[in-house]
A and B are shown apart, each in its own frame.
Chain A
Amino acid sequence: MAGKRVLVVDDEIHIVHVVAIKLRNNGYEVLSADNGAEAFELACNERPDIIVTDYQMPVMTGLELLEKLRQRQETKDIPVIMLTARSFAISKEQQEDLRISGCLSKPFSPKELLGNIEDVLYQKQVMVSN
């Protein structure tokens, strides 16, 4: 999956930093934003292959970002993995409605996150090739 672009969104600069290092070390190109609004603009302009976003952020939450992404033609199919400190915050229905590819509870393992990203991108690749 080397060369794929990942947009990492979190208002915690240290989380963005550590995820970025992990992904770059594994051949990914990393874009970053510290709130939903900034991430939406980046997603529209840069069309990342996958987005990893925090759930609770100032200005625009992860869920609001996802709702906006799903409404735009150019961003509606971008897979999204959600990071959250509140595991109960997102219902199964919301996950299905907004097509959330995966949810990881904080504290999370960067290794586990990388594994999830690879799985999601692989599934996406299979779907496209079919």
Chain B
Amino acid sequence: MFRRSLYAIVTGIVACSLFVGGLAEWQDSGTEEGRRYAGYEQRIPVVSVCCIVAAVGVICLGWYQMRLAGTVTSIAKLVQDNKASDIDADRGFFAPLRMATIDELYKAVDEHFAGCTARTAEYEKQIKDLQLQIQLSQRRGKNTEAIIYSIRDAVIVIDESDRLLMANDAAGRLFNFDFKNSQHKPVSELIGPEQSEFVDFLSHSRQSKGRATRKDIEFLEEGTPKTFDCIVSCVYYQGQQVCGAVAVLHDITREKQIQLMKNDFVSHVSHELKTPLASITAYTEMLADGEADDEETRKEFYSVIQSQAQRLNRLIEDILNTSRIESGLIKVNKEPASLTMLVEEQLQMIRSYAEEKNVEVIGQKPIVFDQVYVDKDMIREVIVNLLSNAVKYTPSGGSVKIEIEVDEVATLARVSITDTGVGIPEDEIEHVFDKFYRVVANEKQAKGTGLGLNLVKQIVEKVHDGKVFVTSQVGIGSTFGFELPLATRQAA
């Protein structure tokens, strides 16, 4: 409004000045109309009016220019100070006195824009840095996902409210949920009541803020009881604040079973070692105390001590051989040998034991060609193990039959030992060659370490590229045997 009024005043003054000046000039031009309309005596007032109007105009223009310069100076200063919003506040009476030029304004605006450009560049750099950090974070997230998904153990990640954030396929299978449809749901809803011990452990571990809490938990997986080694680690955010937890469940069922089998093995082995040792100790003491009255009794005692020492040695050899074969450290001396001959040797050894138990041993008719390329001592070990087992588990009055067959087409020899013993339950047959395994139903029938049949399997399959086999019926009997390549195949 002020600006418009100022324009009108200045324009009026200038127009009046021009009109009066023109009128005076016209009167002064000496034309007939000038002399007629204006007397010479009227020229002085016209000039005076013109001078006054011109002076007022100059003053107004000067005042306006000062106002304008003051405003420009203020703008320049405010631009420099980045306080454009304070422009109105700086319009005082003396503002016009702070003179500035358009150059200064230009310079200030230029500097301002230079500052803006620098800040923009800085902001752009910060944006790039943030974008890089986002990419890095996303990559880390993908790496974490890949790690979690590649782990065979079940992995579950929860937030601070025990809701599911991440889970791999193994966890989905174990707890029977689909991760895509389960994300952000409480784990207590996803995991069934039969596995509630894990949910409680997970929640408790998160609340306790432990770095790595560990517990063995047993629960059913597809109806089978399993043991899991559960480790829960809290996820920390800004110091001690826990924002979730990661749980890893490692299936240790097999390790537990092996541990139990090992304990059982140690128990069995110590018993087996102590039994011959007990005989040796007792008979030695009797001899030392002169309890054997006559030479015949003394000879009998010596014989018992000797046989028990041999038994002890065989047992130790069995343990060592199993260990050596497994570790690949055993020395193998293969040479051509007749299977019939090897079987005959062992039959002689087992007959006294069979007679003692009243078990008939039916031998094998000689076969023309049954040469195999084997380590004789090892195959003797195999035959004696199978024969002694057959006699051991056959009740008095039963029989043990040994057969040898030669399959010329398949170029292999097959030894089968059939007994009329107690037999093996169907569900246990597949385990009889496992190390330390003993058929539960037959444990009371005879003592053993659970090493013999495993040693047979190792010698036949690992050392001689053969194959062991077993068939059995409870109450009727069992057939154990092995196949070995004929020496002709080995030579070829």
Contact = CB atoms under 8 A, between A and B. Distances in A.
Contacts of A25: 291
Contact of A107 (B274, B304, B446): B274
Q: Interface residue tally of chain B, by bracket? A: 20 to 34
B138 interface: no
Contact of A18 (B267, B283, B447): B283
Interface stretch (A55-63, A71-79, A121-129): A55-63
A4 interface: no
Contacts of B280: 107
A109 B271 contact: no
Nearest to B308: A14
Interface string A74-97: 000000000001100000000000
B291 A12 contact: no
A22 B292 CA distance: 9
B275 A12 contact: yes
Interface residues of A, number: 23
B282 interface: yes
A14 B285 contact: no
Nearest to B444: A58
Contacts of B304: 14, 17-18
A43 to B, nearest CB: 19
B275 A60 contact: no
B271 A56 contact: yes
A9 to B, nearest CB: 14
A102 interface: no
Contacts of B282: 15, 18-19, 107-110
A21 B298 CA distance: 12
B278 A108 contact: yes
B444 to A, nearest CB: 5
A29 interface: no
A106 interface: yes
A15 B279 contact: yes
A53 to B, nearest CB: 14
Contacts of A18: 279, 282-283, 286, 304
A41 B282 CA distance: 28
B259 interface: no
A110 B286 contact: yes
Contact of A85 (B275, B297, B308, B444): B275
B270 A11 contact: no
B310 to A, nearest CB: 13
Interface in B262-288: 267, 270-271, 274-275, 277-283, 285-286
A111 interface: yes
Contacts of B292: 21
B459 to A, nearest CB: 27
Contact of B285 (A17, A106, A111): A111
Given A60-B444, A85-B274, A107-B274, A12 B281 contact: no
Contacts of B308: 14
A14 B279 CA distance: 6
A12 B279 contact: yes
Nearest to B301: A18
Contacts of A17: 304
Given A11-B447, A21-B291, A58-B447, A86 B279 contact: no
A22 B291 contact: yes
B447 A56 contact: yes
A30 B279 CA distance: 18
B444 A111 contact: no
A85 B271 contact: yes
B275 A106 contact: yes
Contacts of A21: 286, 291-292, 297
29 contacts: A12-B278, A12-B279, A14-B279, A14-B283, A14-B308, A15-B278, A17-B304, A18-B304, A21-B292, A22-B286, A58-B444, A58-B445, A59-B444, A59-B445, A60-B444, A85-B274, A85-B275, A86-B267, A86-B271, A106-B274, A106-B277, A107-B278, A107-B280, A107-B281, A107-B282, A108-B282, A109-B281, A109-B282, A110-B286
Interface of B: 267, 270-271, 274-275, 277-283, 285-286, 289, 291-292, 297, 304, 308, 444-447
